[in-house]
Amino acid sequence: MNYTAVELIERKRDGLELSSDQIRWLISAFTSGEVTDYQMAAMAMAVYLRGLDHQELATWTDAMLHSGETLDLSGLEGPKVDKHSTGGVGDKVTIPLLPMVRACGVLAPTLTGRGLGHTGGTRDKLEAIPGLSTSLSSEQFMEVLRSHGMVYGGQSENLAPADAKLYALRDATGTVPSLPLIASSIMSKKLAEDLDGLVLDVKTGAGAFMPDPARARELAATMVGLGKAHGVRTTAFLTTMESPLGRQVGNASEIKESIAVLRGEGPGDLWEVVLALGAEMLLLADRAPDEPRARSMLTEAVRSGEALAVFEKVVEAQGGDPRVVENPSILPLAPRRAEVVAPAPGWVTGCHALTVGVAATRLGAGRERKEDSIDPGVGVTILAKPGDRVERGQALAEVAYREQSRWQSVRGLLAGAWSIGDEPPEPVPLMGERIRSSEMD
């Protein structure tokens, strides 16, 4: 096959279809280094602008999936179910959810990702725990999973390596919101896990990569279809990301909030998402007869302390300091504090998730460039959420920062994240439509 990267870039740029052979050559050549990062960045932009049709996307996803190793979990007894979110501000659901599901008898392997754009990555959050590593070989991944029934993995060099390379490029090239690139990225990793079931949390709203509900639904249906085509029972939820989820935005602070959930504490909106997704995971695993029973099982796993015990053991197994469970103060924390205050009395009518996410990224909680490092100790604590009554001068948020220059650069931006009105806002439903592979034609 005598293809060149330039030829294929131009073809997709001009809106023409790529053949299955062309796509498989492209992904293979990118994995091997024959196609350079800058060439694949150009292709990513062409795909962002022109899209991929159904057949192109199926081939692209399959090529990514088979660009390296895949996991074989057939030797493990019990149903294997994972969860994935398209990303949102303050979205730390995976961290408390997996131990809860494991405590209910479901194997919960996961491959976590780095932060993309204005949203934090679960992998970055977990690595705020001193010593914890998500960079596990396939052998290490399997050992933790066998021993504890769950694992917080990250993409290894050998598991869907084409996606790992492209994932980093998307963050630095303005192509993160591309529907086919999101769908193929998520599903190539998840299908490589040899799962029995998969639950997808597809965000929509101001802080989501797919703010338009119609586009978010298209993404959800696309991924459910890819899961069904590979024999994996898949469900997608559409959830609202207008405001940050929970009250913490920042890597170490979101670990603290996750531990609070595992103690039966934590904010109500975070609990709502955790229970909805967790209940669906138990249903896909045939561990509960209906949703109310599944929710009851998850709640009992927290009340009994079993879910927290699972989390502590997995943290230790992955090299992390298990003392973080009893003493979250060992997590890194930036030394400086500032407040964002209400300019007038009234009702909080909005807390713009995108603005908060961008501000946290610029403080150092996320990456604006591929090579940027993460500061796990910086972040924003949301003190006032939509529906709260505030007085003039009352703190809306507390900011933890390290560098004065970074705080000054986001001070005005962050102050504009809150809107205050004379009347309380109408509640916005958090959980939206549910799309199940079993209900698709």
Catalytic residue among 12, 24, 80, 84: 84
Catalytic residue among 170, 217, 247, 367: 170
Provide the 3-class DSSP secondary structure of residue 236: strand
- Determine whether 170 is an active site residue: yes
**Which residues does residue 5 pair with via DSSP β-bridges, in sequence order?**
none
d(CA 307, CA 302) in angstroms, rounded, equals 5
Residue given tokens 């919101």 in the structure block: 177
- Determine whether 185 is an active site residue: yes
Provide the 3-class DSSP secondary structure of residue 347: strand
Alpha-carbon dihedral sign for residues 17, 22, 24, 28: negative
Catalytic residue among 82, 124, 163, 196: 163
DSSP 342: -
* Residues 53 and 17 sit within 8 Å (Cβ to Cβ): yes
d(CA 40, CA 29) in angstroms, rounded, equals 10
* Residues 344 and 368 sit within 8 Å (Cβ to Cβ): no
Q: Which residues, in sequence order, are CB contacts of 263 under 8 Å at separation 6+? A: 302, 308
- Determine whether 84 is an active site residue: yes
Catalytic residue among 24, 92, 125, 189: 189
Q: Could you tell me the CA-to-CA distances from 379 to 120, 134, 358, 370 in Å, in that order? A: 11, 22, 11, 20
* Residues 386 and 350 sit within 8 Å (Cβ to Cβ): yes
Catalytic residue among 156, 178, 185, 188: 185
DSSP, residue by residue, 111-167: EE---BTTB--HHHHHTTSTT------HHHHHHHHHHHSEEEEE--SSBSHHHHHHH
d(CA 118, CA 87) in angstroms, rounded, equals 9
- Just list the catalytic residues: 84, 163, 170, 185, 189
